[in-house]
Structure 1
Amino acid sequence: MSEERTEPAGVSETAGGTAAESDGPAAAPRESKPGGSALAALALIVALAAAGAAAYQWYHDRGAGEALRHELAKRLADMEAQNKDAVARASQASAALREAEVKLGVLESKLAESQNQQIALEALHQELSRNRDEWAFVDIEQSILLASQQLQIAANVRAALIGLENAEARLQRMDQPRYTALRRTLARDIERLKSLPLADVYATSVRLDDVIAGIDKLPLAMDARARAEAVAAPPVAADMPDWERVLREAWRELRQLVRVQTSNLPDAVLLPPDQVFFLRENLKLRLLGARISLLSRDAKSFQRDLNLALAALERHFDANDGGVTAVAASLRKLQSAQVQVDMPDLTETLETLRKLRLPRPKGSG
């Protein structure tokens, strides 16, 4: 820049020289003027200031670029981290979506199954609604058949009467004209059963059980004399000699080994002590046979077993004992019990049932 400033000065000097040659006295005062050097100095300062400003601007721009690069790098790192987090969340969301789709499929299958079950239940309900009368008729038929079996097999009038009354009540609730004939025959059978004399089989069976339970406590007739002799035996004196007491004890033991009994009955059976158990058991078996005959409504066998049991009681047991007398009285009272009753049949009602039996519908849905 100083060279550029020098060239004009040379030119000025040349021009000045030329002017001096042509105009000598007038050019001398221009060479001595100080304004040119001041301008040069000012231009130099301006140039230096411009260079400093340019250098400062360059330095400032360089720092700003570095900061911008650091900021961009930081933001890129943050964006990369956010991108990774977004990818992870997207993966989790995708997995959750797949799991939700699986659960949705399961729920849809369960919903379909539930709908199928509901459809089946509705169909079953409709079927039951359509066949309600048929099912009711089946129940009525079963009640009447069971009542007939109770009469013919067990002769149980009470159970048969309960079954027929239940069937008649069901028919009354249904209130259908087609069952009028059946209700009429049922009413007749119920009246016939109510008019029958009811044999109290349960009470008679309980009395027989009480008699059987008391057999082991009844004294035998052959034991009555032994008890009387034991009561009549004289007491042993306190001052009796020892040898006489020993002889008495030996004699009593000897009498236990050999027992002689007498009976006023010509056909009485005298049993040894070890056979008494079988005598009582035979009497129990006879009474059990009477109980079985009672339950089977076999009046002939019932009377025969009671007669044989009463004869054995009077023959082998002590008639003077109060327990034996009470048992004999109970057996005589049982002989008058009504065991057998002529049971009516339900033929007319069963025939009406056969005519009314509804055929089961096929292919109805």
Structure 2
Amino acid sequence: MTEHTTPTMPQENVTGTADNPGASRSGAMASPLGEAQPAPGGKSARPGGAKPTIGIILAIIAIILALLLAAALYFYTVRQGKAQAAAGQQLQSRLSELQQAQQQQQQQFQTALQQQGQALTAARQQAADQTRQLGELREKVATISGSEANTWLLAQADFLIKLAGRKLWSDQDVLTAGALLKSADASLADMNDPSLMPVRRAITDDIAGLSAVSQIDFDGIILKVNQLSNQVDNLRLADNDSDEAPMDGVGDSKLSGSVREWRQNLSKSWHNFINDFITIRRRDTGAEPLLAPNQDIYLRENIRSRLLIAAQAVPRHQNEVYQQSLETVSTWVRAYFDTDDASTRAFLADVDALSQQSVSLNVPDQLHSQPLMEKLMQTRVRNLLAQPTAAAASQGE
């Protein structure tokens, strides 16, 4: 037999029952959870106007909060959707702009690439034209110059011989003319042509003729003349007043202290004045030119100018002007300067030595190789240059 145990009522309910005698009178029985249990007759113990319990209120509040949260979430979702849609539209427009910009850049790049291609094609065409023109020029030069370099060597020799003639007759430069003739002979020797032996023999004769011309140290002569110009100030003037005694005596020229002899005193004073105003001296030797006081400066400068003319006549090979200038200097020095002085004697000795030298050159009147070279140029080079012109004229016909 099963033992039935009656559950023990909590202490709080017991206390509540004891404190509330009305509840015991209504015959209601407290449940273990503290809620009112219905009476045995089936009627509820809650009265009709009682307030809802706390649980129902909390449930309602939770439902309201859930609805509010759902509404807020809905509005937030709608707003986010609109924002995303707007951002999507912006991104779509930006993407469209970028695509348009990229298309424009591609078009510009293609245009630039086409332009560069056209420029490259034009450059290639220009390079091809220049190459063709260069080839034509080379052909023309080859036609003019011939298949050999002997024509250039021959023309070079002709130029050197003509230049040697100019240096010989215009500048009186024998050394340079000889060097130019030697260079012309070397050019003809490089051609290794036996038919040029007469021209080379004539060049050799011209070189030998120039070597026979006497070589004068013109630079040394100019230096000596300039040195004489610097020594002009060291020359001492001649003393022409060595005999200063009057020709006739004047007697007693002292004045008397007596008043009665006033006529004699007046006559003596007059004669003293006349004697001091005009002086006559005796000259036993030949008359020498007189030089005014302080005029020696002009004399020395005139001597320097004559020496300068003589120095300038040396490189020009003006022998007559050179000799006349030195003779004039020698004449002036002997006339106005002391020839007994050592410096004057040395100066005159140098002037006489320079006047003995000739500054002219006996150069040949012509070069034997020049007419032969002119004839050779006429037969070889100039006829060769006329050949392309004749060929072009025949092609034009």
Of residues 300, 305, 310 in structure 2, which corresponds to 1:285? 305
Task: Give the alignment of 1:138-287 within 5 angstroms.
Answer: 138-222=155-239, 266-287=286-307
Contact 2:164 2:177 in 1 (8 A): yes
TM-score (norm 1): 0.60
Alpha-carbon shift at residue 80 of structure 1 (Å): 5.8
* Residue aligning to 1:102: 115
Q: What per-residue deviation string (whole Å, max 9, x for no partner) do you get for residues 213-235 of structure 1?
A: 3324433224998xxxxxxxxxx
**Pair 1:328-2:348 in alignment:** yes
Distance in 1 (CA, whole Å) between partners of 2:193 and 2:281 is: 80
Contact 2:218 2:314 in 1 (8 A): yes
Match of 1:318, SS?
Answer: coil
* Residue aligning to 1:87: 100
Contact 2:291 2:336 in 1 (8 A): no
Amino acid at match of 1:318: D
Match of 1:154, SS?
Answer: coil
Distance in 2 (CA, whole Å) between partners of 1:202 and 1:188 is: 28
User: For this pair of structures, how many residues does the alignment match?
Assistant: 268
* Residue aligning to 1:41: none
Q: What per-residue deviation string (whole Å, max 9, x for no partner) do you get for residues 97-128 of structure 1?
A: 22233344344444444444444445445555
Task: Give the alignment of 1:101-120 within 5 angstroms.
Answer: 101-120=114-133
**Pair 1:311-2:339 in alignment:** no
Distance in 2 (CA, whole Å) between partners of 1:213 and 1:146 is: 39
* Residue aligning to 2:5: none
By relative contact order (CA 8 Å, sep 6+), the higher-ranking structure is 1
Sequence identity (%): 21
- How has the CA–CA distance of structure 1 residues 138 and 213 changed in structure 2, closer, same or farther, with 3 Å as cutoff? farther
Distance in 2 (CA, whole Å) between partners of 1:198 and 1:87 is: 94
Unaligned runs of 5+ in 2: 1-77, 243-277, 393-397
TM-score (norm 2): 0.56
Q: Between Structure 1 and Structure 2, whose CA radius of gyration is higher?
A: 2
Alpha-carbon shift at residue 147 of structure 1 (Å): 1.5
Alpha-carbon shift at residue 92 of structure 1 (Å): 0.7
- How has the CA–CA distance of structure 1 residues 261 and 176 changed in structure 2, closer, same or farther, with 3 Å as cutoff? farther
- How has the CA–CA distance of structure 1 residues 101 and 294 changed in structure 2, closer, same or farther, with 3 Å as cutoff? same
**Runs of 4+ that moved beyond 6 A:** 70-77, 258-265
Q: State the superposition RMSD in angstroms.
A: 3.9
Alpha-carbon shift at residue 288 of structure 1 (Å): 2.9
Alpha-carbon shift at residue 161 of structure 1 (Å): 0.9
* Residue aligning to 1:15: none
Distance in 1 (CA, whole Å) between partners of 2:283 and 2:299 is: 17
Distance in 1 (CA, whole Å) between partners of 2:289 and 2:105 is: 106
Distance in 2 (CA, whole Å) between partners of 1:173 and 1:224 is: 78
Alpha-carbon shift at residue 185 of structure 1 (Å): 1.0
* Residue aligning to 2:3: none
- How has the CA–CA distance of structure 1 residues 136 and 125 changed in structure 2, closer, same or farther, with 3 Å as cutoff? farther
Distance in 1 (CA, whole Å) between partners of 2:168 and 2:374 is: 19
- How has the CA–CA distance of structure 1 residues 211 and 349 changed in structure 2, closer, same or farther, with 3 Å as cutoff? same
Q: Where is the helix percentage greater, Structure 1 or Structure 2? A: 1
Distance in 1 (CA, whole Å) between partners of 2:281 and 2:99 is: 120
